[in-house]
Structure 1
């Protein structure tokens, strides 16, 4: 008998932790996509959002980062209420965001892309650049190469490295394995695991739902802009309804 995934999408207030989204309504101009979404990420937690195409998964992260039209509800990050605020203000709170596409400056070199990640600082801290190079050695090898001439996997590592230049408390990743060759997907997930193991909270939207749920601490299933299930990844994977409806059996 499988475990039963929870339909209650909100953690108790005393467990909410770093990011707390409550009853969020959001969309684009007059188009509402999210309807009463709840979501939490604790300190150092790895959370994945899965669901069918058009469910609003990416819209959740874009809303946290101030890239959608806010229509109601609340988004708290630490002690700050950030709903309706612009990305240039939200980034100072400690949130990094890597979109699925258009996530590198193609005409700039690898190093210049990483330096752009630190644009809000007075200078480019060499120790932070060193930590990114240690995490992604290929970026140091290619630091003078233009980003647009790199492979898809290398560009994804560069986009993540740029977001990490500000050492965010929360790293949000939108479909990090999209477009990668199958032999590179596991490596990308391993790198995300290590980022989380080092203490950075991760919120990820991912098309490879089974693998994402295997690795995360907790998952959310969104359907038509609303929460359908929330539970730890293993419980969601074991739930017969979740597997049948969203994971291909």
Structure 2
């Protein structure tokens, strides 16, 4: 955890240079068509790190995730992943580099079975890696129990586990999670975060956008607070939780 990280604000922040960054986003302007959502955004994730992006609704959090995965109009700035410049790389090529993405909505093939969904996660390979499939089933035992069930008949929490499992079939170095607790019953939220913790503990770096900011910041190594499409604060997760200004403005006190 980065205890010496200093909070940064949009007006006076200094660009960080971390030679060991797995993902480095620099001065990113991005949006949809001609509509710009992000302005001058910086973000880093190091190998094995757990990073969370929080902020008010409409701050551009999901746009950051989509931009990293090549799903927006990236207007300016640079993105590098595992030493490769991915600023103009499309999603179908990014996935080959070791980056997995789980969107918030429409993240499973509802007409396919659980196992067929997982096999689709390895579609770029010549054959389904059985060791990766077994690892996913070990992480999410309910998926093994329901491997023949049609995904569209599963609960929201089970679908979310399936979507994560499918993204893990290629054993990515970095997993992007967009609002993984959205729509889950309160008693399932902690369980979902526990599963994400274990994925990170096993060596997969995680970059997560999350509406449940307090729970997310308690678990992550570092956090970013995004406001109006710009960096507002960056610090260790527990430091952001302890910052009175951050708590008052963004975490409900």
Offset at residue 160 of structure 1 (A): 0.1
Offset at residue 14 of structure 1 (A): 2.8
1:37–1:57 Cα change, 3 Å: same
Q: Distance in 2 between matches of 1:10 and 1:111?
A: 44
Offset at residue 9 of structure 1 (A): 6.7
Offset at residue 10 of structure 1 (A): 4.1
Q: 1:12 aligns with which of 6, 11, 17?
A: 17
- In structure 2, the residue matched to 1:49 is 53
Q: 2:154 aligns with which of 150, 155, 158?
A: 150
Instruction: List gaps (5 residues or longer) in structure 1.
Output: none
- In structure 2, the residue matched to 1:165 is 169
- In structure 1, the residue matched to 2:123 is 119
- In structure 1, the residue matched to 2:103 is 99
Offset at residue 12 of structure 1 (A): 2.6
Residues 151-201 of structure 1: CA deviation (Å, up to 9, x unaligned): 000000000000000000000000000000000000000000000000000
Residues 194-243 of structure 1: CA deviation (Å, up to 9, x unaligned): 00000000000000000000000000000000000000001100001100
- Aligned partner of residue 96 in structure 2, secondary structure: helix
Q: Distance in 1 between matches of 2:140 and 2:245?
A: 39
Offset at residue 4 of structure 1 (A): 9.7
- In structure 1, the residue matched to 2:73 is 69
Q: Distance in 2 between matches of 1:24 and 1:164?
A: 27
Q: 2:179 aligns with which of 153, 175, 182?
A: 175
Q: Distance in 1 between matches of 2:71 and 2:211?
A: 21
Q: Distance in 2 between matches of 1:32 and 1:11?
A: 23
Instruction: List gaps (5 residues or longer) in structure 2.
Output: none
1:139–1:10 Cα change, 3 Å: farther
CA contact (8 A) 1:9 1:38 kept: no
TM-score (norm 2): 0.95
Residues 120-146 of structure 1: CA deviation (Å, up to 9, x unaligned): 000001111000000000000000000
- Aligned partner of residue 22 in structure 1, secondary structure: strand
CA contact (8 A) 1:33 1:56 kept: yes
1:222 and 2:226 aligned: yes
- In structure 1, the residue matched to 2:64 is 60
- In structure 2, the residue matched to 1:244 is 248
CA contact (8 A) 1:10 1:39 kept: no
Residues 35-61 of structure 1: CA deviation (Å, up to 9, x unaligned): 000000000000000000010000001
Q: How many residues align?
A: 246
